[in-house]
Structure 1
Amino acid sequence: MSIIDAAKKRYSTKVFDPSRKLTNDQLQQIKALIRLSASSVNSQPWHVIVAATDDAKQRIAKAAEGPYVFNKPKILNASHVLVFCSKTTIDDDYLSDLLACEEQDGRFSNEQSKQRMVDGRNFFVDLHRKTLGDADHWMQKQVYLNIGSLLLGAAAMGIDAVPIEGFDRDILDEEFDLNAQGFTSLVVVPIGYHSADDFNADVPKSRWHDEKIFTEC
């Protein structure tokens, strides 16, 4: 399947088939997609909860009550549910650990290249931490980059998914003690296979035409 075919095929699944499950190999590929995602200055300010059991999905579904109850079946019937979380702060200890990880992975050919990474990353981190004061929003943008990559990659694998923002973040944060770990829940993404009853599976895709969204110069 070409990347364009995957983009055309991908859609927001409304009804999952609870009898169909991802294989362990598929799940490992999904996790690899997430781990390998791009992020500004390689900041990777995310954590992802991977719910595979019914009990784990029930915990996530606690945040889909009241005005969000229409999302509950998606969470309960999907093969797996991913909760994308964003860091709430990006401190010097985190940056130090990140640099050590990069060095261990052989990212730097010499001390000069390492220092260039430090200087470049610190510039953008401090721009958002100190100058603009929007570090939390900046980190959330990185998580959304990851989610976009995951959605397209899953479609290329023949796996259905739906990104959900309609849930009670406070309930989910408390359920998994996320704030104490320096994170907050951002988007819930059930993944699996759509049901034959999914009304959205055959709805034609609608997008703006080229002249509406591109300026070529």
Structure 2
Amino acid sequence: MNVAQIATTRRTCKAFDPARKIPDAVMADLRTVLRFAPASVNSQPWHFVVAGSDEGKAKIAATLAGNYAYNAAKVAKCSHAVILCARTDLDDAHLAAVLAQEEQDGRFPTAEGKTMQSNSRSFYVKSHHDKHDLDEWVDRQIYIALGNLLLAAGALGVDACPMEGIDVQAVDTALGLREQGLRSVVMVALGYGSDEDFNAKLPKSRLPEASLFTDI
């Protein structure tokens, strides 16, 4: 299956089969996709909470009350729920850790290259601090990781349901994220659809290509 076929056949899963679990090797591939997702200036401003146990999924499902109750069953019955989190600050310690890893991985053939990378990344982080839009900038990186995850899941035959319909404050509290310098942004349920997944029986619908593209 090529990438266009994946894009046109993957769907948002509306109901999961609780008896079907994602194999460990497949989950390992999806974790790798998240870890290696691209981010502006390789800032890696994220952390991923993966709930694969019944206890972990129940803790997350319990936060989905009131207006978000419609998503609780998806989390409870899926194989794995992934919460894509953002760092609340890209502080000096985080930037130093990223730079040290890049050096360890051989990214800098010269000392000047290391200095240029460090200065470039620090410039962008500081500029977004100064513009008071650091959270928005970081969130855009989180959604790049989300897109990679959804496409990879489709390629591996795993059904997925991305969810913005979550109570981020409740999730943060339940998992103690703020104390760790993190905040939840978006969640994805992963697994295999059940017969109750009505969306699997419906054709995909998108606006025509002519209305979406301008060639110049």
TM over 0.5: yes
**CA RMSD of the aligned region, Å?**
0.9
> Which has the larger displacement, 85-94 or 144-153?
85-94
User: Which residue is equivalent to 1:152?
Assistant: 151
Aligned residues: 216
Amino acid at match of 2:135: D
- Quick one: which amino acid aligns to residue 56 of structure 1? G
Tell me, in whole angstroms, the C-alpha distance in 1 between the residues paired with 2:158 and 2:28. 13
What is the aligned partner in structure 1 of residue 121 from structure 2?
121
**Residue 203 of structure 1 aligns to which amino acid in structure 2?**
L
CA distance in 1, matches of 2:115, 2:212: 39
SS of the equivalent of 2:163 reads coil
Query: Which AA in structure 1 matches 2:151?
Result: L
In structure 1, the partner of 2:18 is 18
Deviations 1:22-59 (A, max 9, x none): 11101101101100101000011111111111110000
Question: Within 1, Cα distance between the matches of 2:121 and 2:213?
Answer: 31
Match of 1:201, SS?
helix
**Offset from partner CA, 1:47-87 (integer Å, 9 cap, x none):** 11111111100000121111111101100000111011111
Question: Is 1:57–1:76's contact at 8 Å kept on the other side of the alignment?
Answer: yes
User: Residue 147 of structure 1: CA displacement?
Assistant: 0.4
Runs of 4+ in 1 over 6 A off after TM superposition: none
Partner of 2:134: 135
CA distance, structure 2, for counterparts of residue 207 and residue 116 of structure 1: 43
Shift of 1:126: 1.5
Tell me the CA shift for residue 123 of structure 1.
Answer: 1.9
Cα distance in 1 between the residues matched to 2:63 and 2:46: 20
The one-letter amino acid paired with 2:44 is: Q
Q: Percent identity?
A: 40
Alignment partner, residue 110 of structure 2:
110
Q: What is the identity, as a one-letter code, of the residue corresponding to 1:188? A: M
Residue 199 of structure 1: aligned partner: 198
Write the distance in 2 (CA, Å) between the matches of 1:157 and 1:35.
17
Distance 1:177 1:95 in 2: 23
Alignment match, 1:66? 66
TM-score if structure 2 supplies the norm length? 0.97
Q: Which runs of 5+ in 1 are unaligned?
A: none
Residue 184 of structure 1 corresponds to which residue in structure 2?
183
Mapped partners of 1:7, 1:167: distance in 2: 25
Post-superposition offset of 1:211:
2.2
- Counterparts of residues 48-87 of structure 1 (less than 5 Å): 48-87=48-87
Partner of 1:90: 90
